Amino acid sequence: MSLTLDPRQRAMLAEIGVRVWLPETGDAEAPAYAVEEDTFSDAPVAAAAPVARPVERPPVQAPVASVRGEVAGLDWPTLESAVASCQACGLCQSRKNTVFGVGHTQARWMIVGEAPGENEDLQGEPFVGAAGQLLDNMLKAIELKPESDVYVTNVVKCRPPERHPSAEEVIACRPFLDRELALTGATMAITFGQFAARGLMMGPASRGKVMRYNQLSVVATYHPDDLLRKPEDKAKAWGDLCLAKASHA
Ligand code: SF4
């Protein structure tokens, strides 16, 4: 799997720390962007969402079926308002802000993270700070403009404090993600982080292949925070991005 790279793209890749094999130099190294199979755990979402410490959760405020029915008919403004006032799971009690998606409302590409972190919770936006900067550079490297070609969101819209979201929270928030998918009409999703992949797929997810979720083609890769902590995985992330781009040219 490869893309033809011009000098500008190579510069962008250098910026995010990806080494690219240059055939014209005769470099004998294997291509840095070779796609490798790297299967996330096959455990389903329910079992794969560890809770770091016991959390007392209030009862769910509204039945999921009811929420889903109400959300299915919302437009963008009313959907954002519904998220802002949502109390459908216990995360409403500890959040500072809900974190609604940002980007083009009719984007073909959906960027999906797991859940807001501390900074996202404070600022009310997904993928901020160094992780957001790296995400932008990763998207630009495959010629996607963050401001016009993608819509960026999370599986759950409120921050789980110091843990991954539980299966109950993923399910409670699902109507909002499904409505974002429907309103954008996106046909390609890249998930960032293994819990985002499992959360979107509602089950097992693997890197290194194109998965399907309804109308969506889905490719999983590493979360920018993980790449900042472990830069040696950037080459594999580049392979994932190439796979997504090639499957959705
Ligand atoms: Fe509502 Fe989702 Fe926030 Fe839970 S995480 S309170 S379902 S918006």
> What does the pLDDT read at residue 40?
45
The alpha carbon torsion through 181, 184, 187, 189 (nearest 10 deg) reads -60
Q: Is the CB of 173 under 6 A from ligand 1?
A: yes
> Which residues are CB-neighbours of 52 under 8 A, at least 6 positions away?
162, 163
Across the chain, which has 249 residues, the per-10-residue mean pLDDT values are 52 49 35 36 39 41 57 95 96 97 96 97 96 95 92 98 94 97 97 96 95 95 96 96 91
Residues near 232 by Cβ (< 8 Å), separated by ≥ 6?
Answer: none
3-state secondary structure of 36: coil
What are the Cα distances from residue 172, in Å, to 23, 105, 109, 129?
Answer: 49, 23, 24, 28
At 221 the pLDDT is 98
201-218 residues labelled b (16+ CB within 10 A) or e (exposed): bbbbbbbbeebebeebbb
Within a 10 A sphere around the Cβ of 10, how many other Cβ atoms? 14
* pLDDT of amino acid 9: 53
Cα(60) to centroid(ligand 1), Å: 10
Does the CB atom of residue 154 touch ligand 1 within 6 A?
Answer: no
Ligand 1 lined by 155 (C-beta under 6 Å):
no
Q: Give CA 64 to chain center in angstroms.
A: 23
pTM value? 0.78
Q: Is the CB of 156 under 6 A from ligand 1?
A: yes
Distance 90 CA to ligand 1 centre (A): 8
What is residue 41's predicted lDDT score, i.e. its pLDDT? 39
| Coil, strand or helix at 180 | helix
Specify the pLDDT at position 146.
84
The single residue listed with the structure tokens 């240059």 is: 22
- Predicted pLDDT at 181: 97
- State the pLDDT at residue 51: 38
Tell me, using a 6 A CB cutoff, whether residue 157 lines ligand 1. yes
Residue identifier of the C-alpha nearest atom 2 of ligand 1: 173
